[in-house]
Amino acid sequence: MGQQAAKEVTAQIGLYDDPKVQTYLAELGKRLAAVSDRPNVPFQFHVVDDASVNAFALPGGPVFVTRGILAYLTSEAELATVVGHEIGHIAARHSVNQLSQQELAQAGLGIGSILSPAVGQLGQLAGAGLNLLFLKFSREDENQADQLGFRYALKAGYDVRVMKDLFVMLDRVSQTGQAGKLPEWLATHPNPANRLKSAEERLATTQADYSHLEVKRDPYLNIINGLVFGENSRQGFFKGNRFFHPDLKFQIDFPQGWKTQNQPQAVVGISPNQDAIFELAPSSAASPEAAARRLSSQQGIQTWDVRSGNVNHFPAISSYFQAQTDQGTLAGTACFISYGGKTYALLGYTTPAKLSAYQPTFQQVIASFNTLTDPEALNVQPARIHVMKLPRAMTLMEFNAQYPSSISADQVALINGLDKNASIAAGQQVKRVVGGVKSQPAVSSAR
């Protein structure tokens, strides 16, 4: 199940496309795994391309760290305690113990599971494997993982005093509500009030010569210099209910008030009552006609009223469909559009009884699909971490005024592990964030 979940993470969330960062984490992970209680486990270490602040361990060895948490850590020693914690879950077989206590049958997605695994991130989970990511370990399990991570990091030669800073950072981040497709650390790692206190007590009883232990602040900051911060706007972003995709050069309007999310496989929206879904996804079919034939050939799906036409001058095939699923019968409208050398599938579906009520909404979304021409949206770049060495001593507020970031001063303080009024010595490396969608492009009429 761990291997299956690892495949699902890679397919549905995606790995961060930076070999330097991936290699760095893999080497650090191997160093920690070698001193763990189960060094012969086939551990794997990957950075997942998600803005949330989290890390996950799966049975059998896969460990994932989000790029989101990398942006908030300030040293290799901090990262070592995070990775050590996750190795601790695997070494102590916590996931296996959890699985023995509960049945992880695939729950399905309510409506839409037969058509769109992507919808799982808006509702329930797409597969039994990904349920492993959302297991909540007990306080005892978390405390044991903390102890093991502490021991592994110390044994590997890291200054484990930074574990206190890690817990302070995670608590501060939890209060900001940072966005990502995956949950934040505290959603999957219960955080008892005494966790920081436990770390302090552990440190008080640890006999270690800290002068010989590594923190590796500057080497770590050099690795994450240029790291994408927050959601990657090149891969699409919302302004209100309008979705822009700069790389694929299209835009589309989702219904007002719907919950939306941009995923690697699809852009999806679910109605306020959670009884209707609309999604847009690239199709592997060579043409709209081929995509329509593929839909109608699926077992349990019937299509009718198939029509050829255009959506804003782009060739399209549309139809109604009905699908038999484990959760009941679905009905909806499908439109396959040829645009930019690709075929896009636009599907809106609900229960048969509600199709007539939702059909005008589905058609309105389909009709809004058009070329993205707004220069600001087309040229937007993702926000990135920029690490710089201070030319002189200054306060963090002075730094932020002289070298502005595209995030708030409070966030600048948070990603540097500092108080907003802290003083910074000359020559110290400091993180700022540059680029990104500071003020999102104005909504222009579809043409």
* Domain ranges, ordered by start, for the chain: 2-224, 229-244+372-447, 250-367
Give pLDDT tens digits for 244-291.
999 999 999 999 999 998 877 789 899 998 899 999 999 989 999 999
| Whole-angstrom distance, CA of residue 346 vs CA of residue 336 | 6
Length of the chain: 447
Quote the pLDDT of residue 109: 31
C-beta separation of 272 from 254 below 8 A: no
pLDDT band for position 104 (50/70/90)?
A: very low
pLDDT digits (tens, 9 = 90+) for 21-35: 999 999 999 999 999
Given 8, 76, 78, 86, the catalytic residue: 86
Which amino acid, 432?
Answer: R
- CA atoms of 313 and 120, how far apart (whole Å): 33
The 10s digit of each residue's pLDDT in 205-232 is 888 888 889 999 999 999 999 999 998 8
pLDDT at 374 over 50: yes
The whole-model pTM stands at 0.77
Distance (Å, rounded) from C-alpha 43 to C-alpha 49?
19
3-state secondary structure 365-427: HHHCCEECCCHHHHHCCCCEEEEEECCCCEEHHHHHHHCCCCCCHHHHHHHCCCCCCCEECCC
pLDDT of residue 186: 62
Say whether 86 is catalytic: yes
The CATH number of the structural domain formed by 250-367 is 3.40.1000.10
CA atoms of 69 and 55, how far apart (whole Å): 8
Q: Is a pLDDT exceeding 80 seen at residue 193?
A: no
pLDDT the model gives residue 321: 93
pLDDT averaged over every residue in the chain = 85
